[in-house]
Every structure is written in C-alpha cells, then in structure tokens.
Amino acid sequence: MSRQVRDYIRTIVDFPKEGILFRDVTTLFADARGFRMAVDQLLHPYTGERIDKVAGLEARGFILGGAVAHQLGTGFVPIRKKGKLPGATIAQEYTLEYGEAVMEMHDDALAPGQKVLLVDDLLATGGTAEAGIRLIERLGAEVVGCAFVIDLPDLGGRQRLEALGMAVHALCAFEGH
C-alpha cells in the first residue's frame, strides 16, 4: 500500500500544552520521499498558472515555500514575525488565542500586479494566513491561492480564508486541534 502525506506526520500529545495534539511535520521533512510528495502535491493545482512569487509564513512555511518556489522556478518571499527582517517592512497585526501578534514583510518584496502563492504547513484558525494575505494585498499583489500540508477544519481557518475569497488547498486534514 502506498503512503500518503498524512502517513509521514506524527502526532505529539499534550504539546505545547495539555490537551493539544500537535501535528509535527518535521517527520515529513526528514523523509525524502514524503517531503518530495508534499512539495509536488502543494504545487500541483497551480501548474500552468502564472505565479510570480511564493510567500511562506514563518517558520515551516519557509521550508515548504522555498521548495515550492524552486520547483515553480520563481522567487520566494518570507513573511516573518515582527522584528526579524532587516530592511524596511510593512506590518499586519492579527489575533491569537491569547492576545495579538504582528507579521511583517519587506516593503519592496512584491510589485503591484504580481501573482503570489501563499504556503504554510498548517491551517488552524487562519489568523496568520490572513495577516499574510493582507500584507501581500497591501503591496498591490494578488494571492492566487493558499496551500497547506495540514488543515485543522474544527478551528475554522479554511472558512475564514474562503470568506476572504481565497482558494484553499490542503493535502490532509486532522480532526481536533
């Protein structure tokens, strides 16, 4: 029987706190076949579409986004937590379960009209992804899709992004949070 992407992902119980089932993609990244499968499946729906840049959300989105950008033959744009980028940036606040955070992107990372694919490992509530979308759009670029390895549908992130008009592509889903 052939393995699916979900088969390479391990679950860590009670991390980072009790009651959480943490979906760990490092086991996927560590397996050459699994990693290749994930990258190929992330970019498959966008083959033949114009994509000028791939944007990855900190931190595992950098690993996936860089690989997807390489396969598509395009550039990569990191979207990072506040204070991590060295140049002039634009910032976007977003809400976390307990408080707020800020994501940033270089203010010259994208040009108006560019088509951007947003990539991350996991879609939970959608707050980080929405912040990334807002940053991309503030520079005049267009998000052509949002690609994730894992969707946690119980947390509502997909609906949140689709309500913004985004096409969401996830390789697998896990119940719970």
Q: Which residues are catalytic?
A: 60, 97
Q: Three-state DSSP class for 64?
A: helix
Cβ pair 54, 119 in contact under 8 A: yes
Whether omega for the bond prior to residue 16 falls within 30 degrees of 0, making it cis, is: yes
Phi, psi of 75 (to 5 degrees): -80, 165
CA neighbours within 13 Å on the CB side: how many for 64? 32
Give the separation between CA 51 and CA 49, rounded to whole angstroms. Answer: 6
